[in-house]
């Protein structure tokens, strides 16, 4: 009887548990490498966007700062082709409606005449 139990356990291990473990291992490898690929691709695209929207004027300003506003940490962007231009404070919609990356495309004309703070 003990021999039958041992054989049953070995059969279950060989035909059920082992293939499942292999599948989980392959899924884990796939997720790991696909995540690394996606993160690398995001880094490349972010750098491309940064270079396209870069302010190259010697009198310009281009900065992202973390501030405490009303007791809450906030991220602000400061961009303009001449830091002596008037400041335009842009308060985007929210909550959760961050337009910081898109603003470089939509507000690029404003950045020529203003220091745009988002």
Last residue of a domain, one of 35, 52, 69: 52
| pLDDT tens for each residue of 29-84 | 887 777 777 777 777 877 776 666 778 889 999 888 888 988 988 888 889 999 99
Q: Could you tell me if 79 and 43 lie in one domain?
A: no
13: domain range?
1-52
- pLDDT at position 1 over 60: no
Query: Cβ atoms within 10 A of the Cβ of 69, count?
Result: 8
First to last CA, the chain: 76
Q: Could you tell me if 73 and 32 lie in one domain?
A: no
Could you give the CA distance from residue 7 to residue 17 in angstroms, rounded to a whole number?
A: 14
Q: Could you tell me if 1 and 46 lie in one domain?
A: yes
Q: Could you tell me if 2 and 48 lie in one domain?
A: yes
pTM of the model: 0.54
Q: Could you tell me if 65 and 108 lie in one domain?
A: yes
Number of domains, the chain: 2
| pLDDT tens for each residue of 86-109 | 999 988 766 666 666 677 777 888
Q: Could you tell me if 16 and 43 lie in one domain?
A: yes
Last residue of a domain, one of 52, 76, 93: 52
Higher confidence at residue 104 or residue 27? 27
- pLDDT at position 13 over 70: no
């Amino acid at each position: 009887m003990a021999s039958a139990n041992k054989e049953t356990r070995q059969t279950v291990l060989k035909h059920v548990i082992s293939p499942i473990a292999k599948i989980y291992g392959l899924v884990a490898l796939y997720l790991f490498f696909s995540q690394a690929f996606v993160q690398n691709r995001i880094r490349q695209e972010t750098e491309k966007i940064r270079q396209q929207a870069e302010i190259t004027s010697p009198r310009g300003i281009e900065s992202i700062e973390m501030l405490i506003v009303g007791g809450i940490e906030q991220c602000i962007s400061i961009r303009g082709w001449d830091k002596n231009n008037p400041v335009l404070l842009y308060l985007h919609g929210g909550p959760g409606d961050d337009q910081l990356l898109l603003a470089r495309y939509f507000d690029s004309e404003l950045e020529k005449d203003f220091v745009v703070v988002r």
